[in-house]
Chain A
Amino acid sequence: MIGLQHYLIVSAILFAIGMAGLILRRNILVIFMSIELLLNATNLSFIAFSRFRGDMGGQVASFFVIAVAAAEAAVGLAIVIAIFRNRGTVKINELDLMKN
C-alpha cells in the first residue's frame, strides 16, 4: 500500500540528487537543471501533503513554485547567455573575476 511517506522519500531522493548536481557539476546549465530538480522535489512533497491532508492549498503552492521556476529559468538562461557571450565559458569554476 502506497502512503504519503513513499512519495516523501521519492521527493527526498530527488532533492538529494539535485543537490548532488548542484555540488558536483561545473556546467552552469546543468546546475540550473539541478535547481529545477530541487524545485520539483519540493513540489512533489507539496502535492503529496495536499493529497494527504485533502487540502488543495498545496497544489496551489506548487503552482506558484512552477511559475517562479519559469521566471527563474528565463532570467537565469539569459544570464548564462550573457556570461557566455562576455567570458566565452559556462564553467562555473572559470568565472572567478572576484578572486584576487
Chain B
Amino acid sequence: MYPLYLIPLMPLIGAVINGMIALAFARKSSKAPEALVSFLAVLFPLASFAFVLAAVWPFLFQDVSAPRIETLFQWMASGNFKLDFALRMDRLSAIMAMVVTGVGSLIHIYSTGYMRGDKGFARYFSYLNLFLFAMILLILGNNLLVLFIGWEGVGLCSYLLIGFWFEDPAKASAGKKAFIVNRIGDFGFLFALFIISSILLKNSDAASSGIFNFATLEEHKALLAPMATVICLLLFLGACGKSAQIPLYVWLPDAMAGPTPVSALIHAATMVTAGVYMVARLSFLYDLAPFAREVVASVGAITAFFAATIGLAQRDIKKVLAYSTVSQLGFMFLGVGIGANVAGIFHLMTHAFFKACLFLGSGSVIHALHGEQDIFKMGGLRKHLPVTFWTFLICTIAIAGIPPFAGFFSKDEILWQAFSRGYTLQWALAFATAGITAFYMFRLVSLTFFGKSRVDHHTLEHLHKPSFTMDFPLIILALLAMTAGFLGVPEALGGHNILHHWLNLEGGVVSEHAESENFERLLAGASVGWAVLCTSISLFLFTKKWNAVGRFVEKVKGAYTLIYHKYYVDEIYDALIVRPVNWFSRVILWKGVDAGVIDGIGVNGSAKATEFLGRLFGLLQNGMANSYALYFVMGMVLIVWWIVH
C-alpha cells in the first residue's frame, strides 16, 4: 500500500528538477537537453498515474467505499483552531485523480512533441509538472485549506503558462487577466472559509476535529445551516472564477494565448473543472441551500447557452474550442447545481477526454500550419492530417452528443436529471445549447478538414507532420471518448448506470416521475434527433452551401457582429468595472488619500512636528558635547531617585 503523498510528490520532484535544469540553462546560450527534460517530465506524471491506480485499486475492484485519509503533519495550531495537512482518497477523488493524472500524462507526452525546439522547453515542463502537483493537491486535499492551496497553485500555474511566451505583451496581459479575474473568485472562496471558521470555531468538538475537514463539515452542517446560502454562493463565486462561468468567464478565451497543450490540460480537462469538483464535494452544503442550487444551475445553463452562441461566430479555432469549453462547463454546473453530482462528474470526465483530444487536435493543426489559427484559412486538411482528422471527428461527434459516443450519455444524463427534477427552464436552455454545440462544432470540423483547402501553397508544401508522440495521445483520448460513455448508460437505455452506483453521490431532491422510464427514452431520442439535425445542417451548410451562409450572415449583420464581438462583454466590463476602479484608485486613493492624507498629514505633518520639537530641544545643543553627557546623567540620577523613593 503506497502512501498517498507519493502521488503529488512525483510531479513536484519533476517540477523541481526541471526547474533546476531551466535555471541552469537560463543564462547560457546552449539549450537544455530536450531528451533528458522530456524523459523526466513524462516519467514523473506517469509514475504519479501509476501510484493513483495503485491507490484506486481497492475502490475499483475490492469494493471499498470508506475514504482513506492520511495525515502528513500538523499544519497549524493556534488556540482551538488546528489543521492537519491531510490527504483524502475516496471515490470522488479517485475518479478525478485518474482523469487528471491520466490525461495529464498523455498531454505531457504530446507536449514533448509540440514544444520541441522552444527555448523555454525545460521551464515549460517544470510549470506543467508543478501544475499537476497543485491539481492533485486540490483533488486529494482532505480539508478546504489544502484544497485551497491546490486551488491557488493551479491558478498560479495557469498564469505562468498562459503568459508562457511573455515576450508578447498581449499574451502576458492575458495571463494577468486570468490571474486577476481568478482573484475575484478566490476572494469569494476565502470569504466563505472565514464564515465557516467563524461559525465552527465556536463549537468545541468541531474545532477539536479540525473545522475544515470535509468530514467535520458534513458532521456539523446543521450549525452552518443558517449561513449556508451565503457560504454556498461565495464558494460558487470562487468556482465561477476558476471554472469560467458568468460573470467571470472572460479570462478563459484569452487564456488561449498559452501553448495549446496547456489549453488542453488546464483550460479544458482539469483546472477549469476544479469548481465543479468543489461543488460536488461540498454537495451536502448545497443541499442546505436550495436557492444556491437554483443559482448554480441557472448560471450553468445560461453560461452554457451564452458561450455556445458566441462559439457560433468565432474564427479562431482555439477560441471556438474555448467557448465550447465554457459552455460544457456550464453543463457540468447545471448537473452539480441541481444535485446530479454523478452526472456532472461523469460529464466532467468524458469532457476531459474529448475536449482534451479536440484541443490537442487543434494543436496539431496549428502546429502543422506554422501557427495559423484562423479556420477560414484552413480547410481540406482531411487528407494531410489523417490521424488528427479522425480523432478530431470522433471527439466532435462525442461532444455533439451523438450516441454511442461518450458525450451523449453524460450530457443526456444531465439533461434528463434537470428535467426530472423540475428545472424546466434550465433544461430548455441546455437542450437548445446541445443543438448549438453540435452546430458550431461541425462548422469547425467542416471548415477545418472538409471542403477545398484555403491554405496557401507555401505552407501546404512544408506542412509539419505531427510526430508519433503527438498522434499517440490523440488516439488514446479518442478511444476513451468513444468508450467512456458506457460507464454511465442509464437503466432506461438498457444499461445499468455503473458510475452512478459506484460513485453514489446524489444531492438535491430527487423526484422521479412515475412514467420516467419511457419519458427518459423519449427525451434521449429527442436530444439525439436534435443533435443529428443540427449536425447535418451545419455539415450541409459549411461544406456545400458556403455562399448561402455568407448571405445569411449579411442579412443578420447586427446580430452576427454582436456575437462575433462576444456581446462586447469585455468592453462592458472595461467600462463598468476597470475604468471606474482605475479612476477611483487614481483620483481618490492616490491623489486624495495617499498624497493628501498619508503624505500630507501623516508624513509631512509628523515631520513638521518633529522639526518643531527639534528646534525646541535644539536650544540644549550648545555644541559642547560634554554637556549632553551631563543631561543624560541628570536624567539617570532622576530615575535612580525615583527608584529609591
Contact = CB atoms under 8 A, between A and B. Distances in A.
Nearest to B630: A23
B623 A92 contact: no
B556 interface: no
A82 B623 CA distance: 20
Interface centre among A23, A95, A96, A99 (most CB of B within 10 A): A23
A22 B633 contact: yes
Contacts of B633: 19, 22-23
B629 interface: yes
A22 B612 CA distance: 29
Contacts of B630: 23
Interface residues of A, number: 12
Interface in B597-645: 623-627, 629-630, 633
B626 A26 contact: yes
A22 B623 contact: no
Contacts of B625: 92-93, 95
A94 to B, nearest CB: 10
B632 to A, nearest CB: 8
Contacts, number: 23
B97 to A, nearest CB: 57
B626 A24 contact: yes
A68 B627 CA distance: 25
Contacts of A95: 625
Interface string A5-35: 0000000000000010011111000000000
* Interface hub of B623, B624, B625, B630 (most chain A Cβ within 10 A): B625
Contacts of B623: 93, 96, 98-99
B7 to A, nearest CB: 52
Nearest to B629: A22
Interface in A45-77: none
A98 B627 CA distance: 16
A71 B184 CA distance: 54
B643 to A, nearest CB: 13
Contact of B626 (A92, A96, A98): A92
Contacts of A22: 626, 629, 633
A98 B625 CA distance: 12
Contacts of B626: 22-26, 92-93
A19 B624 contact: no
Contacts of A25: 626
Contacts of A92: 625-626
Interface string A80-100: 000000000000110110110
Contacts of A93: 623-626
Contacts of B629: 19, 22-23
A22 B629 CA distance: 6
A68 to B, nearest CB: 18
B614 to A, nearest CB: 12
Interface in B517-564: none
A98 B624 CA distance: 11
A25 B624 CA distance: 11
A71 B608 CA distance: 37
Contacts of A19: 629, 633
Contacts of A24: 626
Nearest to B636: A19
B205 to A, nearest CB: 45
Nearest to B640: A12
B635 to A, nearest CB: 12
Nearest to B618: A100
A44 B19 CA distance: 59
A19 B623 CA distance: 19
A92 B626 CA distance: 8
Nearest to B637: A19
A23 B632 CA distance: 10
B253 to A, nearest CB: 64
Contacts of B627: 23
Nearest to A99: B623
A93 B622 CA distance: 10
Interface string B295-338: 00000000000000000000000000000000000000000000
Interface in B184-226: none
A98 B618 CA distance: 12
A19 to B, nearest CB: 5
A93 B626 CA distance: 8
Nearest to A24: B626
Most buried by B among A22, A24, A99: A22
A47 to B, nearest CB: 20
A42 B139 CA distance: 63
15 contacts: A19-B633, A22-B629, A22-B633, A23-B627, A23-B629, A23-B630, A24-B626, A25-B626, A92-B625, A92-B626, A93-B624, A93-B625, A96-B623, A98-B623, A99-B623
Interface of A: 19, 22-26, 92-93, 95-96, 98-99
Interface of B: 623-627, 629-630, 633
Given A24-B626, A98-B623, A99-B623, 5 more contacts: A23-B627, A23-B633, A92-B625, A93-B623, A95-B625
The 5 A-B residue pairs with the shortest CB-CB distance, nearest first, are A99-B623, A22-B629, A92-B625, A96-B623, A23-B629
